[in-house]
Chain A
């Protein structure tokens, strides 16, 4: 049983501490995923709160021993789509502002985490990648966010989005090719 499955089981048994631990493990991943999807950190955090409230309301639908993370991602995605529809956004843009560059993860006291990943060496590269991402069709953008940025396998990403594994693989590949093309232009001296 995975750590998340164990925490979810204890949470369903009424252990509030297990919920907090589960939240601490899953919420950052959901924030990251939703931030890439909606482009706003504040909105992403708000959507994560809504997602966890929905998870809380639907916890009786949990199957003991099952990995809750894909289910939580699927709920987060549904929440995002509902919110996007509610705001009548025809297209949700990935942000490109300087403030949206990768943040350095920190502990609760604000000190940097020991295993924090280094930020990208080249901000121009990251900005170009974000720019290229924003121009991708939403399904391709979501595919590369899930598989390359959120660490989900093709099968998990397919389960979260409701696509087939083949379609997910194709979308991720096309997105990668588009990104590659955009960043090649940067390397050749041209702008995106």
Chain B
């Protein structure tokens, strides 16, 4: 409680402690909202209190581990159903594992920021989570577009025309969104009730986390090695899932506000 706004300093740099500041402080002190008596509890609150039951509270780290475990299990199942890319054995292992690890790190980090609040606080780190989501999206799109040509030798490629990129996009986006849906749902369920501020940004971050897991699955499934496809479709998946989640949160908020 040491970082309260202070009175502006005077021209010579000394704290301005003249009569005006004293009057400001006096008036603010008089208007202080602390120290009053509590209003009587309303009937609805008394009714709720009469049937009070113990509630299971959040265990953020355990929730994080559960969301990760279930999401990875689900993504593995989807991947097993879709099948892994046919050029898997020809891809340089360092690239396969390295890129996969970055996708996974995106998912882990964003989900952590969403689910685990700072020590001693209830409110989640929505600002950091949203920033991590934006960073992940920017990184995956840029990394895909700047992909070295040597890595295109193993996979399927096609002429980098707009129609070709658009034509090959929906399939990957559909699978990516399918993979993202479950972690997004699980994370949203875990964090619900704790987000009175920044809910849309937090929803976008949750979507970005799901998109990162979707991107990891596509990395192991999609054999297309064309850089615009990797950058705009696989990387863009993070933005698409973030936008969908934010939109769903917005619609949910609007409905909740309606009397």
A92 at the interface (CB under 8 A from B): no
Query: Are A13 and B54 also in contact (CB < 8 A) when A61-B192, A159-B121, A180-B24 are?
Result: yes
- Interchain nearest-CB distance for B54 vs A (Å): 4
What distance in Å separates the Cβ of A147 from its nearest Cβ neighbour in chain B?
6
19 CB contacts below 8 A, A to B, read: A20-B49, A31-B39, A32-B33, A60-B55, A62-B194, A115-B35, A120-B26, A129-B24, A129-B30, A148-B4, A148-B5, A148-B32, A151-B32, A153-B1, A180-B8, A180-B20, A183-B27, A186-B23, A187-B23
Binds A, one of B56-64, B142-150, B243-251: B56-64
Pairs of residues from A and B, 7 with the lowest C-beta to C-beta distance, nearest first = A32-B33, A120-B30, A61-B193, A58-B193, A129-B27, A162-B197, A172-B5
**What 0/1 pattern do residues 9 to 32 of A give for CB contact below 8 A with B?**
101111010011001110111011
Assembly CA distance A165 to B42 (angstroms): 35
B50 CB to closest chain A CB, in angstroms?
Answer: 8
The answer on a CB contact under 8 Å between A28 and B3 is no
Residue tally, chain A, CB below 8 Å to B = 95
| Interface residue? B163 (CB, 8 A) | no
Taking the closest CB of chain B, its distance from the CB of A35, in whole angstroms, is 7
Interface residues of A in 149-186 (CB under 8 A from B): 149-151, 153-155, 159-162, 164-165, 169, 172-173, 176-177, 179-180, 183-184, 186
User: Chain B interface: which size bin?
Assistant: 35 or more
Known: A49-B44, A61-B58. A149 touches B194 (CB 8 A): no
Q: In chain A between 110 and 141, which residues have their CB closer than 8 angstroms to a CB of chain B? A: 113, 115-117, 119-122, 125-126, 128-130, 133
CB distance from B126 to the nearest CB of A (A): 8
Give every chain A residue within 8 A of B121 (Cβ-Cβ). 63, 66-67, 70-71, 159
User: Which residues of the partner chain B approach A113 to less than 8 Å between Cβ atoms?
Assistant: 35, 37
- A85:B257 contact, CB within 8 angstroms: yes
Question: Is residue B162 within 8 Å, beta carbon to beta carbon, of the partner chain?
Answer: no
With a cutoff of 8 Å between Cβ atoms, the chain B residues found around residue A74 in the complex are 123, 196-197
Which of A19, A57, A144, A150 is within 8 Å of B52, CB to CB?
A19
Contact A116 B35 (CB under 8 A): yes
